[in-house]
Structure 1
Amino acid sequence: MAYRFQVVVDSRDPHAQADWWAETLGWKVEPSDEDFIRSMIAQGHATEAETTVHNGVLVWASAQAICPPDQVGRRDRQRFLFQSVPEGKTVKNRVHWDVRLEGDDKDEVRSRLEARGATFLWEGHEGPHSWYTMADPEGNEFCLS
């Protein structure tokens, strides 16, 4: 049996991270079900303190997910879930993701991402292949290749 999975990223601000990564990857922030959230509060299963308003929409405060635009709402979608944690990042990631640029100019993409809060860390090479290792606004490493 093959299992599905999602990548979960600990974040200080899951909504800002979801917005940043959705824009970076050309993905979509998964829509909030405001009626469901309100019904959970009304039934006593959640409190208003567990919610926030982000970009004018009622959302769960502790997490936000993104997925490819053609997969929104599908059960089998690819997914990053950004979840709130109290501590900031303190050490190098043991796992990172590679953003494959599919022909886009690596230097141009690097400049755009730096203008949006990413940090260039180093350039790597292996044979004829090269990549940039970057950090997102919360310091999570990723590569551009």
Structure 2
Amino acid sequence: MILRHVTIDCAEPYELARFWSQVTGWPVSGEDSPGDAEVLVEAPAPVPGLLFIRVPEGKTVKNRVHFDWMPEDRTRDEEVARVVTLGATLHEDHRTPDGLGWVTLLDPEGNEFCIERSVGERQTI
């Protein structure tokens, strides 16, 4: 079995897909456009894509599943600052004085995700 997509229910699929495209660096499918009810962010193989689907209900509780991201070419703190400038909101800060920990953020529709320490940071602490 192959995991093809991770599907996220949302109010504005194209707008949320554009946010995640900027976060990940993966493109929004050329077949999708503003106003579409389903929009795909295409991940590099073999990573599953992110599929955003319009639903009528709003988000009301904490996500049962969320993404944990680890930056490759910047530090955790640089990545947190970058995604905040893209529209994320700081939710919970679990960084510790010794450099360990992670940061939980919210995407523009309130979905939780975490930024962990980078590969380089994991090698130094």
What is the number of equivalent residue pairs in this alignment? Answer: 115
1:61 aligns to 2:32 (yes or no): no
Instruction: Report the Cα offset of residue 103 of structure 1.
Output: 4.7
**TM norm structure 1:** 0.69
Counterpart in the other structure of 2:79: 109
Q: By percentage of residues, which structure has more strand?
A: 1
Q: Secondary structure at the match of 1:24?
A: helix
RMSD of the TM alignment (CA)?
2.3
Percent same amino acid at aligned positions? Answer: 36
In the alignment, structure 1 segments of 5+ residues that lack a partner are 34-52, 55-59
Counterpart in the other structure of 1:31: 30
In the alignment, structure 2 segments of 5+ residues that lack a partner are 117-125
**TM norm structure 2:** 0.79
Q: Secondary structure at the match of 2:61?
A: coil
Counterpart in the other structure of 1:16: 15
Q: Summarize deviations over 1:110-136 as a string: whole Å, max 9, x none.
A: 122222221111122699741101110
Q: Counterparts of 2:56 and 2:6 in 1: how far apart (Å)?
A: 19
Counterpart in the other structure of 2:120: none
Q: Is the 8 A contact 2:23 2:86 kept in 1?
A: no
Q: Secondary structure at the match of 1:134?
A: strand
Counterpart in the other structure of 2:123: none
